[in-house]
Amino acid sequence: MGIVSRGFQGRRGGDSERLPPGQYLTDGFPVLTAGPTPRVDTGEWTFTITTETGESRTWSWREFQNLPQEHPHTDIHCVTRWSKFDTDWTGVSLDTLLADVDTSADYALAYCYGGYSTNLPLQDLQEGRAWVVHEFEGEPLPAEHGGPARLFVPHLYFWKSAKWVRGIRLLDHDGPGFWEQAGYHDYGDPWREQRYRGD
Ligand SMILES: Nc1nc2c(c(=O)[nH]1)N[C@H]1C(S)=C(S)[C@@H](COP(=O)(O)O)O[C@H]1N2
Ligand SMILES: [Mo]
């Protein structure tokens, strides 16, 4: 396993090189949700980052829309073994959202409307690798896929891309989210097949 993500090398080697181990390719876009789909009005939507010292920063929908928008284009990989190539999204980089946040935390817990949560090292939300997205293929993100906005962290299995994301807590200590408590891997790297605890 090299340092460069193999997702960026795949095109030369064809589809098999782009597909992480144990995955199959789908053209569809399956919906995977534990529980009912929350309906969140953009007029009420807020996104909050809270630091380990308890300081917080909150954006309204309008403030969030006025931040610099990026257009990640990449492959996604679900732990239930489907992968989808060449997905297109619009959203705000976590680097932008974290720019004025003063923290020395090492961990992050994303939490959601509806109660879902997932944990990641803070570093995995940085360096151009994570976004809060609100469009899929040029259209507002459908509610079943996490609209109005979801976390998008495509270098990890897709359960880390929390739908209906409401905020991120920055923490000194790692602690499991919803699926991690249920036995999924703490980190979830598809190239190392980190599906379940102990993988
Ligand atoms: N809030 C919330 N986010 C979630 C989930 C969920 O149940 N609730 N499921 C996760 C899982 S297991 C996957 S594979 C992806 C699925 O996203 P999709 O339904 O848009 O394909 O969302 C992730 N984010
Ligand atoms: Mo999943």
Q: Is 52 domain-assigned?
A: yes
Q: How far is the CA of 179 from the centre of ligand 2 (A)?
A: 9
Percent of the chain past pLDDT 70, that is, above it, reads 93
- Cβ–ligand 1 contact at 149 (below 6 Å): no
Q: How far is the CA of 89 from the centre of ligand 1 (A)?
A: 16
Q: How far apart are CA 109 and CA 122, in angstroms?
A: 9
pLDDT band at residue 174, thresholds of 50, 70 and 90? very high
- Name the residue range of residue 56's domain: 44-192
Give 61-108 pLDDT, tens digit per residue.
999 999 999 999 999 999 999 999 999 999 999 999 999 999 999 999
pLDDT band at residue 15, thresholds of 50, 70 and 90? confident
Q: Is 77 domain-assigned?
A: yes
Q: What tokens does 41 get? A: 């009005």
Q: Is 133 domain-assigned?
A: yes
Q: What is the pLDDT of residue 180?
A: 98
Q: Is 151 domain-assigned?
A: yes
Q: Is 178 domain-assigned?
A: yes
pLDDT band at residue 16, thresholds of 50, 70 and 90? confident
CATH assignment at residue 97: 3.90.420.10
Q: Is 37 domain-assigned?
A: no
- Cβ–ligand 1 contact at 161 (below 6 Å): yes
Q: Is 24 domain-assigned?
A: no
**DSSP string across 47-109:** EEEE-TTS-EEEEEHHHHHTSPPB--EEEEE-TTSEEEEEEEEEEEEHHHHHTT------EEE
Q: What is the pLDDT of residue 13?
A: 54
Of all protein residues, whose CA lies closest to atom 21 belonging to ligand 1? 31
Q: Is the pLDDT of residue 116 over 60?
A: yes
What mean pLDDT comes out for the span 147-152?
Answer: 98
From the CA of 33, give the closest atom in ligand 1.
7
Total domains present in the chain:
1
Q: Is 175 domain-assigned?
A: yes
